[in-house]
Amino acid sequence: LVEMGDTDTLLSFEQLDYSTEIGTNCLSLPWNPTDSAAAATCISSGQRVRSGRLNVSKFQREYETLLEYLTNIDEGRV
């Protein structure tokens, strides 16, 4: 679980269905949210994930927020 500043921004990969398949135009492998390369490939291709529990555009916003947060930590701003 990753929590950033306000409680509205909350990431919990445990809540995602790890077995959900991504549309074949995106990736044919089972969805694994811990695989950042697969996630980035899916997001950059603009494909939708078949499960209603994971919306790619929402995931992309959370991913970008997390990336910004981690960058700030890395640069000593947090």
Tell me, what's the pLDDT at 41?
A: 57
* Structure-token pair, residue 68: 């910004």
Q: Which domain holds residue 42?
A: 2-74
- DSSP for residue 10: E
- According to the model, what pLDDT value does residue 66 have? 78
| Amino acid 35: pLDDT | 56
Write out 13-65 in H/E/C secondary structure.
Answer: HHHCCCCCEECCCCCCCECCCCCHHHHHHHHHHCCCECCCCCCHHHHHHHHHH
Residue by residue, pLDDT tens for the chain (78 residues) are: 444 444 433 444 444 443 344 433 344 444 455 555 655 555 554 444 444 444 556 666 777 777 788 888 777 876
- Give the residue carrying structure tokens 């990969």: 13
Report the number of distinct structural domains present in the chain. Answer: 1
Q: What are phi and psi of 46, to 5 degrees?
A: 70, 15
Q: How confident is the model at residue 69, as a pLDDT?
A: 81
Name the pTM for this structure: 0.28
